[in-house]
Amino acid sequence: MSPSAAAGGIALRARRRLFRRITAAAIQHLVLCAAGLLFAIPFLWLVITSLKPLEQVFTDPPTWIPHPVLWSNYVEALTSPAFPFLRLLRNTLFYTVVSTVGVVLSGAIVAYGFARMEFWGRDVLFGITLSTMMLPGVVTLIPTYILFRVFGWVGSYAPLIVPAYFGSAFNIFLLRQFFMTVPWELTDAAKVDGASELRIFWQVMLPLIKPALLVVAVFHFMWAWNDFMGPLIYLDDAGEYPLVLGLYAFQTRHGIKWNLMMAASLAVAFPIIVLFFIAQRYFIEGITLTGLKG
């Protein structure tokens, strides 16, 4: 082979490699977009249907653009006596916020104990804590219900709120991981200055792990907002229902008006979606820090 031919071969190979890289990137985006569409279409359909007149909900071929666009569906759905949105929202916000405060407070205190204190049996206790994360909820469901019934709490928000004030395994675990990343020098300095453990916890450590507290708060807020079984078994008066139960009741009574039901569904999901977008950055960080990578 002559030198020039070899050089040409190299150039050709380089060009081929570039070509291959571009096609690879194109294929990648194509697959990602296709998968993205599959995930996005149901969601789009929710939005589209919520703006349709009822007779355009089931058409063949499907109606992609509602004509006219009925924003009034939202007014009709959210003011319908069968779906008293404002009251449902107030109920949801009440127990969600109150239990979130509890989860963050108790989680931080307990996690601090696990991360920074030495006491007999700590590691065993922490091991138990981790294993309860895998405990199937089914085994505690009924006795817990009976316990709350004995307390006279069935029919109130107490069963949905009180346990949060005593900690939850996942959040304790998450916050402990964050506490562990704080250098000991910081707290040792405060200790030398004579600060008590409680003061170190409150004035030094808590401000340092604010992002983690936010992650826990958002995680729990979303979980409580979407929780279905808890409110279903513990609340019996429709006046106490949170949004998800209100939506369920709306469906069982007005199951035919799909456009209104989609508007109501979106209204229930919307605050959580907004919250996710605000907290997204911390979210990913939180998941990485849980150390689930093994």
Partner 1 sequence: MGTALAGPTAGVPQKARRSTGRRLRENLRGYAFVSPWIFSLLVFTAYPMLASFYFAMTDYSVLNPPVWTGLQNFRVMFTKDPLYWKSVYNSAYYALLAVPLQMIVALGLALMLNQRVRGIGVYRTVYYLPSLMPTVAGTLLWMLILNPRHGLLNLGLQAIGLPKLGWLSSATWSKPGLVLMAVWTGSGWIMLIFLAALKEIPESLHEAAMIDGANAWQRFFSVTLPLLTPAIFFNLVMEIIGSFQVFASALIAGGSGQTAGPLNSLLMYMLHLYRYAFRYFDMGYASAMALALFVFLVIITMALVKSSGSWVYYETARR
User: Within 101-130, which residues bind partner 1 (CB under 8 A)?
Assistant: 106, 109-110, 112-120, 122-123, 125-130
292 binds partner 1 (CB under 8 A): yes
Q: Which residue from 142, 186, 189, 238 is in contact with partner 1, where contact means CB under 8 A?
A: 142
Both structure tokens of 23? 């096609």
- Other beta carbons within 10 angstroms of residue 260's beta carbon come to 23
CB 52 within 8 A of CB 66: yes
Q: Residue 135 to residues 128, 174, 253, 290: CA-CA distances in angstroms?
A: 10, 17, 36, 18
Q: Which residue from 138, 237, 239, 256 is in contact with partner 1, where contact means CB under 8 A?
A: 138
Cα dihedral 170, 171, 173, 174 sign: positive
Minimum distance between the CB of residue 2 and partner 1, rounded to whole angstroms?
A: 28
244 binds partner 1 (CB under 8 A): yes
Which residues does 54 contact at the CB level (< 8 Å), separation at least 6? 257, 258, 259
Minimum distance between the CB of residue 10 and partner 1, rounded to whole angstroms?
A: 19
Q: Which of residues 167-206 bind partner 1 (CB under 8 A)?
A: 167-168, 172-173, 177, 180, 184, 188, 197, 201
Amino acid at 139: V
Which of 4, 166 has the CB closer to partner 1? 166
Which of 65, 292 has the CB closer to partner 1? 292
- Other beta carbons within 10 angstroms of residue 13's beta carbon come to 10
Q: Which of residues 48-67 bind partner 1 (CB under 8 A)?
A: 49, 57-62
Which of 11, 146 has the CB closer to partner 1? 146
| 3-class DSSP state of 115 | helix
Minimum distance between the CB of residue 125 and partner 1, rounded to whole angstroms?
A: 7
Q: Contacts with partner 1: how many residues (CB under 8 A)?
A: 102
* Peptide bond before residue 61 is cis, with ω within 30 degrees of 0: yes
Stretch touching partner 1 by CB under 8 A, among 4-12, 65-73, 210-218, 239-247: 239-247
Which of 7, 284 has the CB closer to partner 1? 284
H or E stretch including 113? Answer: helix 85-116
Q: Which residue from 81, 194, 239, 294 is in contact with partner 1, where contact means CB under 8 A?
A: 294
CB 285 within 8 A of CB 213: no
278 binds partner 1 (CB under 8 A): no
